[in-house]
Amino acid sequence: MPSTEPRRSAATRIALAAALIALLAGCAAGGREPESDERGLGPAERVAALLEGRYSGTVSGAQGGARVRVDAAVERIAAEGVFVRLDQTRGDEPARSFRLLFQPTRVATRLSGRFAPLDAAGAAIGACPLTVSVRSDGFVASTDAATCRFGQDDGARALVKEIAHDRQRLVIADRIVDVDSGSPVGDDRVLELHRVRTFTGWSGVRDDAASAWRVSQPLQVRSDGSEHRPVDAAGVPLGFLLELAPHRVRPDEPPVLRLRVFDERSGALLAQSWADPGLGRLGVALPELQVGLRAAAPRGRSR
């Protein structure tokens, strides 16, 4: 191990912070999720309550476009602080799990704590100090390369991890740093994630033979990019697939919520529509096919 501490350079800090700010900018213009009743909660409990839930998004860099899911759950509230577990999955790969500890300080807008990766059994395989800046619209948490290290000897690496939330989106940025030189190792990894919302509604197709509409059973569609296959009251598929997910039309603009309809046999795109993420309704209306969706009230949150 080197005798000198690797410094967390301004470039290391600013590059990740800039990515977070760029991704989170513009959300203020969109609608906000209904907030929990936070009266009586301390800063650590408020941050944990905001973070809790399911998220879906994409990863930047060499694996850009791959869809990732993150589940955040409050494990327990103790005298030491609030423990939150994050489970991150991509496709069929094994989950990567982490534990965050949020602890109050004497300053209401600052929290301390720990970041710990977990093994398959849920045991911590190391821990790093975590600092949290609490804002009116969310929080930013980060580790420091000088105090967050994993591995030994030539395999030792430092980790700069930043987590930001603005009540709409969760952004997780990682930078691996060489302990000897303080230089980044590989590309930065940035996850842009959106809280998964559930929409309920209906869909239907016009029956060519009878010129009547065949209506689906009540729909429940999640905004995580997964495919949904509507069926009628008899369990017969209507012949199309639904996909609902955030979509960025232009790199410099905030994402929209996009609904797409595909032909089940050919995979051809039949229709699509966009809506502001804060809006509660969206759908498509074609002469032979219609879909109508409405956002369900989040559980445990007040309207």
Residue of higher predicted confidence among 34 and 75: 75
- DSSP 8-state secondary structure symbol assigned to residue 154: G
Residues 90-100: what's their mean pLDDT? Answer: 86
Predicted confidence (pLDDT) at residue 62 exceeds the cutoff of 80: no
Same domain membership, residue 181 and residue 40: yes
Query: 4-18, 51-65, 273-287 — which one is most confidently predicted on average?
Result: 273-287
Better pLDDT: 64 or 198? 198
Task: Give the side-chain half-sphere CA count within 13 A for 93.
Answer: 13
In a domain, 160, yes or no: yes
Residues 189 and 283 in one domain: no
184 and 50 assigned to the same domain: yes
137 and 38 within one domain: yes
Instruction: Give me the mean pLDDT over the 140-164 stretch.
Output: 85
Q: Which one is predicted more confidently, 140 or 182? A: 140
pLDDT of 303 reads 32
pTM: 0.76
Give the end of a domain, one of 163, 178, 195.
Answer: 195
Note whether 259 and 181 are same-domain residues.
no
Separation CA 130–CA 208 (nearest Å):
61
- 222 and 84 within one domain: no
Among 13-27, 37-51, 87-101, 183-197, the range scoring the smallest mean pLDDT is 13-27
**Residues 18 and 139 grouped into a single domain:** yes
Question: Is residue 180 in a domain?
Answer: yes
Domain end residue (candidates: 195, 225, 243): 195
**4 assigned to some structural domain:** no
- Asked whether residue 203 falls in the same domain as residue 156, the answer is no
- pLDDT the model gives residue 76: 93
> Could you tell me the residue range of the domain that residue 241 belongs to?
198-295
Flag the least confident range among 20-29, 104-113, 115-124, 179-188. Answer: 20-29
Q: How many domains does the chain have?
A: 2
Could you tell me if 138 and 277 lie in one domain? no
Tokens encoding 88:
């991150």
pLDDT at position 129 is 95
Please indicate, yes or no, whether residues 190 and 202 belong to a single structural domain of this protein.
no
User: Dihedral through CA 148, CA 152, CA 157, CA 159, nearest 10?
Assistant: -20
Percentage with pLDDT > 70 across the chain: 81
Please state the rounded mean pLDDT for residues 26-44. Answer: 53
Q: Which two tokens stand for residue 3?
A: 């005798």
Cα(23)–Cα(57) distance, rounded to whole angstroms?
A: 12
Q: What average pLDDT does range 68-94 have in this prediction?
A: 91
The pLDDT assigned to 5 comes to: 39
Residue 240 lies in a domain: yes
Nearest to 51 by CA among 87, 80, 78, 20: 87
Would you state the pLDDT for residue 153?
66
Regarding whether 92 and 211 lie in a shared domain, the answer is no
Segment 84-94 shows an average pLDDT of 87
Q: What is the mean pLDDT of residues 264-268?
A: 95
242 and 155 within one domain: no
Sign of CA dihedral 64, 67, 71, 72: positive
Q: Is residue 5 part of a domain?
A: no
How far is 226 from 191, CA to CA, in rounded Å?
18
Q: What per-residue confidence (pLDDT) applies to 228?
A: 95
CB 182 within 8 A of CB 176: no
